[in-house]
Amino acid sequence: MTPALETIGLTHHFGAFCATDSVSLSLPPGARHALIGPNGAGKTTLVNLLTGVLRPGAGRILLAGEEVTGLAQDRRVRRGLSRTFQINQLFPEMTPLQSVSLAVSRRLGRDGAWWRRLGHGGAVAEEAAEILGRFGLSDAMGRRVGDLPYGRQRLLEVALAIAARPRVLLLDEPAAGVPEAEREDILAAVAALPREVAVLLIEHDMDLVFRFAERITVLVAGAMLMEGTPAEVAADPRVRAVYLGEGGHD
Amino acid sequence: MTAAPEETARRQLAGLARWRPAEIAFWVLVLAAYFLFPQRAALIAEVAVIALFALSLDLVLGYAGILTLGHAAFFGWGAYAAGIAAARGWEDPVLGLLLGGGTAGVLGLLGAPLVLRGGDLTRLMVTLGLATVLHELANRFTGLTGGADGLQGMNVGPLLGKFEFDLEGHVGAAYALAVLFLAFLLLRRIALSPFGWSLRAIRANPLRAAALGIPVRRRLVAAYTIGAALAGVAGALLAQVTQFVSLDVLSFQRSADGLLVLLIGGVGWLYGGLVGAVVFKLMQDLLSSLTPQYWQFWIGALLVALVLLGRDRPRAWIAGLRRPAERAAP
């Protein structure tokens, strides 16, 4: 089966510093894959390479078997690669409904239309409402995004990415900064993501990683230290040494 | 909140496009002003021209978030295009208007890659530079533009082949208001469309806009081009209504006036440009009759006061009257 996302020998240097060192990942459709590593392991650089913020010095990126290595960010999204951000990147003055409706219009190729109003015909509104409902945001659809509690803004991050109906979804620390009381909502939303979407989770939170991931890649100093099931990763002495430390997960 | 979320969503989105009573009242007042003050027809036409210029600037600045100090380049281009056409026998005003707007739009499309290549500061400098270059070219090519003496000998034919432009400016004022209203309808459509929302999204957060798959650059080029074309229409309108074009249509002062109007009325909503233009022009008119030499002092004082008060304040008062889900429109 063609992988949903594949990287082959992905390499990137900042000057003499090698931030990404020959990383080869392969996510089948529907994968639940986590990328972990200590601070400075190159997780953010890898996300930037995958999404097109940076161009790799060497290596290739394939989306459903098609080369996207040289494509701009927005074109990768249109090919089915969506992302969320570690720090919320939302439209604070809009409502969740307006934001998701714009994302749905984009997916339908209607975001350039200037003659009809947003949501003309009702189909966009209905789909937006359905997506917001899935993330428990129905009651907040008409509020200003900037006024929502942080946890709900976090959910909207994921909802916006899902509105593009991606093949592959990069979740960049979805639970980062979320207060304890709202954490369960995020974990539940991540667990309930559509099964057909391949998810790459970049995360510090080991609890979330081990609850969610079916496979884990450990990144150290830009290179892949190992890849395996959560049990294999937890049992690996090298991983314990560099990352999990004394009180490793079990 | 017993309605189904789908129904609520549909209603909220449809509600954004609905004409509000305050909007209708505004345009009724505009119409009333035309009939109540026939002796001020020239002033009304001037207000309409400035309002249209401010609307075009708001699309570029307020919606797309492109900083510019040189929007007068397109205004002046449109004014000279229509003016020169009328001086050379192209007498039909509507054709002149389309010529001014169309060529200014092409100029905007060609200039967009230059303007959009850098950050905010670069954009300020490049737009300012382009307007200055055009100003100097107009100054230099006196054979075409009349240079510092202004363009003489314009001959604007009757509107729609029927209504001669009269000395009191009644036809001119009606013409200017009609063009303003049509342009407003167009911009209102654009502001409420997915394209308009994608511009707001880009202004608010280009990173997220690109992550939604929105082609940011293409959208900005489109917004800049439309803004340029409408500024060209505004310039052409001024040329036709006053039957004269002078170098100041390309001046920095012209660009700055546009910004000032938006500052008074508020950026990022269409009525900001309209209300701002009315306040700006009436104040200019009043102050210059009270203190002919020092009226700019009071404009400056108002500017400082507005910034200190917070320029979103008047807009927030008005927006506060609406339900939050409808706040952003049009």
Model confidence over A31-60: pLDDT tens digits? 999 998 888 788 888 998 999 888 888 889
CA distance B273 to B267: 7
Angstroms from A74 CA to nearest CA on chain B: 4
Inter-chain CB proximity B210 and A78 less than 8 Å: no
Band (pLDDT 50/70/90 cuts) for residue A247 is: very low
Inter-chain CB proximity B13 and A143 less than 8 Å: no
Question: Do residues B128 and B114 make contact, with C-beta atoms less than 8 angstroms apart?
Answer: no
Residue A12 tokens read as 């990137």
- Domain-embedded: residue A249: no
Q: Which residues of B touch A113 (CB under 8 A)?
A: 193-195
Nearest to A90 among B5, B208, B214 (CB): B208
Q: Tokens 């994968």 map to which residue?
A: A31
Domain count, chain A: 1
Indicate the burial class of B32 (C-beta count within 10 angstroms; 0-12, 13-18, 19 or more). Answer: exposed
- Domain-embedded: residue A23: yes
- Domain-embedded: residue A250: no
Inter-chain CB proximity B9 and A129 less than 8 Å: yes
CA distance B219 to A111: 10
CA distance B269 to B63: 8
> Would you write out chain B's pLDDT as a tens digit for each of its 330 residues?
457 888 888 888 888 888 888 889 889 998 998 888 888 888 899 999 999 999 999 999 989 888 888 899 999 999 999 999 888 888 888 888 999 999 999 999 998 888 888 888 888 888 888 988 988 888 888 777 877 777 887 777 787 877 777 777 788 899 999 999 999 999 999 999 999 999 999 999 998 999 999 999 999 999 999 999 999 999 999 999 888 888 899 888 888 888 888 888 888 888 888 988 898 888 888 888 887 777 778 878 877 887 777 655 555 555 544 444 444 445
Q: What residues contact residue A151 under an 8 Å CB cut-off, 6+ apart?
A: A178, A179, A181, A182, A183, A185, A186
- Domain-embedded: residue A9: yes
Cα–Cα separations (whole angstroms), residue A82 to A143, A161, A232: 25, 5, 29
The predicted structure's pLDDT at residue B119: 83
- Residue window 155-174, chain A: list those with CB within 8 Å of chain B: 160-161, 163-164
Alpha carbon distance, N-terminus to C-terminus of chain A: 32
Model confidence over A5-34: pLDDT tens digits? 999 988 888 888 888 888 889 999 989 999
Alpha carbon distance, N-terminus to C-terminus of chain B: 25
Inter-chain CB proximity B204 and A126 less than 8 Å: no
The conformation of residue A241, written as its DSSP 8-state character, comes to I
Backbone CA torsion sign across A209, A210, A213, A215: positive
Q: What residues contact residue A153 under an 8 Å CB cut-off, 6+ apart?
A: A88, A90, A145
CA distance B260 to B54: 9
The predicted structure's pLDDT at residue A250: 42
Residue A183 tokens read as 């954490």
- Domain-embedded: residue A188: yes
Which stretches does DSSP call E strand in chain A?
5-14, 17-23, 26-27, 32-36, 58-63, 66-67, 81-83, 168-172, 198-202, 215-220, 223-228
Residue of chain B with shortest Cα separation from A126: B6
CB burial readout A40-62, b (16+ within 10 A) else e: ebbbbbbbbbbbbbbebeebebb
Cα–Cα separations (whole angstroms), residue A249 to A2, A35, A176, A205, A210: 33, 16, 19, 11, 9
Residue of chain B with shortest Cα separation from A111: B194
CA distance B55 to B49: 10
Substitution target from A44, A106, A160, A169 for chain B, most B beta carbons within 10 A:
A106
Inter-chain CB proximity A85 and B196 less than 8 Å: no
The conformation of residue A63, written as its DSSP 8-state character, comes to E
DSSP-derived 3-state class of residue A15: coil
Nearest to A117 among B16, B201, B327 (CB): B16
B133 CA to centre of own chain: 21
Q: What share of chain A is helix, strand, coil (3-state, %, to 5)?
A: 35, 25, 40
Nearest to B13 among A72, A97, A132 (CB): A97
Substitution target from B63, B189, B208, B312 for chain A, most A beta carbons within 10 A:
B208
The conformation of residue B289, written as its DSSP 8-state character, comes to H
Residue of chain B with shortest Cα separation from A74: B213
DSSP-derived 3-state class of residue B72: helix
What does the radius of gyration of chain A's CA atoms come to, in whole angstroms?
18
Q: What residues contact residue B18 under an 8 Å CB cut-off, 6+ apart?
A: none
Inter-chain CB proximity B5 and A143 less than 8 Å: no
Left, alpha or beta for A136 (phi > 0: left; psi -120 to 50: alpha)?
left
Question: Do residues B104 and B81 make contact, with C-beta atoms less than 8 angstroms apart?
Answer: yes
Residue of chain A with shortest Cα separation from B218: A112
The conformation of residue B324, written as its DSSP 8-state character, comes to G
State which residues form the domain around A51. 5-244
CA distance A236 to A231: 9
CATH number for the domain including A125?
3.40.50.300
CA distance B175 to B310: 35
Cα–Cα separations (whole angstroms), residue B58 to A118, A131, B64, B161, B295: 20, 33, 8, 33, 25
Residue A144 tokens read as 């200003």
**Nearest alpha-carbon partner for B229 in B328, B108, B63:** B108
Nearest to A92 among B6, B204, B214 (CB): B204
CA distance A18 to A23: 12
CA distance A122 to A119: 6
Question: Do residues A89 and B170 make contact, with C-beta atoms less than 8 angstroms apart?
Answer: no
The predicted structure's pLDDT at residue A244: 54
Q: What is the interface pTM, i.e. ipTM, of the complex?
A: 0.88
- Domain-embedded: residue A102: yes
- Residue window 66-85, chain A: list those with CB within 8 Å of chain B: 72-75, 77-78, 82-83, 85
- The answer to whether A133 faces chain B, any CB pair under 8 Å, is yes
Nearest to B213 among A74, A129, A142 (CB): A74
Return mean pLDDT, chain A: 87
The predicted structure's pLDDT at residue A42: 85
- Domain-embedded: residue A22: yes
Nearest to A98 among B195, B214, B328 (CB): B328
**What is the count of residue pairs from A and B with beta carbons less than 8 Å apart?**
162
Model confidence over A110-125: pLDDT tens digits? 888 888 888 888 888 9
- The answer to whether A131 faces chain B, any CB pair under 8 Å, is no
Left, alpha or beta for B34 (phi > 0: left; psi -120 to 50: alpha)?
alpha
Nearest to B201 among A85, A91, A129 (CB): A91
- The answer to whether A112 faces chain B, any CB pair under 8 Å, is yes
CA distance A244 to A233: 10
Angstroms from A228 CA to nearest CA on chain B: 30
